[in-house]
């Protein structure tokens, strides 16, 4: 399978594809190896992942340049949005996991069960499948791989067919750090390999990608009730209030919409601006947009890299043309450059968009920013919530109380005041959203708990004692438990007192088999 540079179309390298028929064997070997891996101490597994981080840090320049060439993003973004967050994820999870998933003592409140000692332990699922996309080929998979391995799971990882070399590099670094090859497995290929992984007997699947594909995966997984964690699409809203710092808000909109050529699930895809500052905001944004440079992300000074492939280029172009046909107008950019195998789009700002157009409803995943005017906080909330997605949103204001009041009403998994996107780099945060944006979470304790299931353990210390609720169900037993129910749960002092006169005599008459 070839890997091509999206900025030049040049061949970067090749990887060997995995036969779909071999997937079941890979998983069977991983399941056997996982039994031993899960018995290693958390400290030992943490040490191996810290070794991985040291390898990544020592070769950061190689990794950054590879990401830029294979994905297309500027080299600076390889550091800020991939390498630095990954190193922090390793540091966070290896230092916090022991506390986050330690055994939880269970206290039984019913007096008759006080002889029991119980606790909940978090157990690894077993073999976890991870299918990751091309837009963040280092951060997105490792945000799941690291906590999966740390909690004692084996992993079968399929990187995108558009960024297979970064996927291979992840595998090489993990193996070099000491992670056994049957514990971390990489499979390369297209949709047929992903389908084979999904139809195999893995214990849980993690998928990051489009909502359309996520729905298909859900349908297939439902046949075996396979647990899923789906991080899907977004249509994130940015709300600029009339008291916002306009210069800062315009810069935030610029970066939030155009970073990674807009190919980001939590990018700004709808920008709602108060009518009192609309003209000033637009003029500021237009001036800033003109300064951005589009080209080969591997070259110094480039801000916007290429679109990853023709299908994505065509989707973005269709949405813009559809909006213009329905009355929208282009206020900046609008250049679509098909250079015979490489695809570039200049950062584009649109105005006067009809709410029914595709650009306002479907995920765009490109350097396109629609600007919509509003007149009240209530209208801004209504417009922002008018979406089938719910990943994140941002509110720009000088009034924290006003901003938080709006934030609480937004139907999203995250809201940021006076910033965009960067919360994804917070290892102690949580990423995921309601509606059609997915079903699971990454990062933070919530991301760690996606990798384990709670298992209840109980020890009966009075092992020779026959329990009162066992057979035989005679009249004395019934009278005892009727009185016990009143004694334990009635709010009436009279009923509680009365029940005591029935508890003792009936208790003495109970006979057990």
Statement to judge: residues 379 and 496 lie in one domain: no
| Coil/strand/helix, residue 417 | strand
pLDDT bucket at 355, cuts 50 / 70 / 90:
very high
Whole-angstrom distance, CA of residue 461 vs CA of residue 196: 48
Q: What is the DSSP string of 102-121?
A: S-EEE---SGGGTTEEEEEE
CB 157 within 8 A of CB 149: no
Whole-angstrom distance, CA of residue 116 vs CA of residue 369: 60
pLDDT confidence of residue 112: 87
The whole-number average pLDDT for the span 191-195 is 95
Contacts of 8 (CB under 8 A, 6+ apart): 296, 342
Name the nearest CA neighbour of 479 among 511, 506, 513: 506
Statement to judge: residues 372 and 482 lie in one domain: no
3-state DSSP helix/strand/coil % of the chain, to nearest 5:
45, 20, 35
Statement to judge: residues 316 and 391 lie in one domain: yes
Answer yes or no: is pLDDT of 446 > 90: yes
Q: Which of 105-114, 241-250, 387-396, 478-487 has the lowest mean pLDDT?
A: 105-114
The whole-number average pLDDT for the span 490-494 is 95
Answer yes or no: is pLDDT of 330 > 90: yes
Residue 343 belongs to a domain: yes
Statement to judge: residues 195 and 303 lie in one domain: no
pLDDT confidence of residue 211: 95
pLDDT confidence of residue 200: 92
What is the residue range of 494's domain?
Answer: 466-509
Q: What is the DSSP string of 420-480?
A: -SGGGG-TTS-B--SGGGBS--BSHHHHHHTTEEEEEEEEES-TTPPPTTSS---HHHHHH
Residue 440 belongs to a domain: no
Statement to judge: residues 348 and 482 lie in one domain: no
Statement to judge: residues 181 and 241 lie in one domain: no
Please write the tens of the pLDDT for every residue from 392-419: 999 999 999 999 999 999 999 999 999 9
pLDDT confidence of residue 131: 98
pLDDT confidence of residue 92: 98
The whole-number average pLDDT for the span 45-50 is 98
Answer yes or no: is pLDDT of 340 > 90: no
- Mean pLDDT computed over every residue of the chain: 97
pLDDT confidence of residue 466: 93
Statement to judge: residues 193 and 314 lie in one domain: no
| Coil/strand/helix, residue 272 | strand
Statement to judge: residues 198 and 320 lie in one domain: no
Statement to judge: residues 268 and 201 lie in one domain: no
Q: Which two tokens stand for residue 230?
A: 């789906």
pLDDT bucket at 204, cuts 50 / 70 / 90:
very high
Q: Report the catalytic residues.
A: 231, 265
Answer yes or no: is pLDDT of 365 > 90: yes
Percentage above 70 pLDDT, the chain: 100
């Amino acid at each position: 399978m070839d890997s091509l540079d999206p900025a030049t179309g040049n061949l970067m390298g090749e990887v060997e594809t995995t036969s779909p028929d071999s997937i079941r064997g890979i998983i069977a070997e991983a399941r056997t190896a996982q039994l031993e891996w899960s018995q290693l101490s958390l400290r030992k597994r943490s040490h191996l992942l810290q070794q991985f981080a040291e390898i990544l840090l020592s070769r950061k320049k190689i990794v950054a340049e590879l990401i830029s060439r294979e994905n297309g993003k500027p080299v600076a973004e390889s550091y800020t949005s991939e390498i630095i967050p990954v190193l922090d994820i390793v540091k966070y999870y290896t230092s916090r996991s022991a506390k986050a998933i330690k055994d939880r003592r269970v206290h039984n409140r019913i007096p008759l069960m006080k002889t029991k000692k119980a606790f909940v332990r978090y157990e690894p699922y077993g073999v976890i499948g991870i299918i990751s996309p091309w837009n963040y080929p280092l951060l997105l998979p490792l945000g799941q791989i690291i906590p999966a391995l740390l909690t004692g799971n084996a992993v079968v990882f399929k990187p995108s067919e558009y960024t297979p070399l970064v996927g291979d590099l992840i595998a090489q670094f993990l193996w070099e750090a000491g992670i056994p090859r049957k514990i971390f497995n990489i499979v390369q290929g297209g949709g047929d390999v992903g389908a084979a992984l999904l139809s195999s007997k893995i214990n849980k699947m993690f998928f990051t990608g489009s909502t359309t594909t996520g729905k298909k995966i859900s349908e297939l997984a439902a046949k075996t009730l396979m647990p899923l964690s789906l991080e899907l699409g977004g249509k994130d809203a940015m709300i600029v209030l009339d008291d916002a710092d306009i210069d800062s808000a315009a810069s935030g909109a610029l970066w939030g919409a155009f970073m990674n050529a807009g190919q980001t699930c939590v990018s700004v895809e709808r920008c709602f601006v108060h009518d009192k500052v609309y003209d000033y905001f637009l003029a500021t944004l237009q001036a800033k947009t003109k300064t951005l440079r589009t080209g080969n992300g591997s070259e110094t000074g480039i801000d916007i890299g290429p679109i990853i492939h023709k299908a994505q280029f065509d989707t973005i172009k269709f949405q813009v043309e559809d909006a213009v046909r329905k009355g929208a107008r282009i206020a900046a950019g609008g250049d679509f450059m098909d250079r015979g195998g490489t695809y570039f789009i200049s950062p584009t700002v649109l105005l006067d968009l009809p709410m029914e157009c595709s650009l306002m409803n479907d995920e765009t995943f490109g350097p396109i920013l629609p600007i919509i005017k509003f007149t009240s906080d209530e209208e801004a909330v209504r417009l922002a919530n008018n979406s089938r997605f719910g990943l994140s949103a941002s509110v720009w204001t000088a009034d924290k109380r006003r901003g938080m009041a709006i934030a609480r009403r937004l139907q999203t998994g995250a809201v940021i005041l006076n910033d965009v996107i960067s919360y994804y780099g917070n290892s102690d945060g949580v990423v995921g959203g309601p509606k059609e944006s997915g079903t699971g979470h990454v990062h933070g304790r919530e991301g760690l708990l996606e990798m384990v299931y709670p298992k209840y353990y109980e020890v009966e210390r009075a092992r020779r004692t026959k329990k009162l609720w066992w057979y035989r169900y005679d009249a004395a037993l019934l009278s005892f438990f009727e009185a016990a129910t009143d004694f334990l749960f009635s709010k009436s002092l009279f009923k509680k007192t009365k029940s005591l006169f029935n508890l003792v005599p009936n208790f003495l008459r109970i006979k057990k088999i």
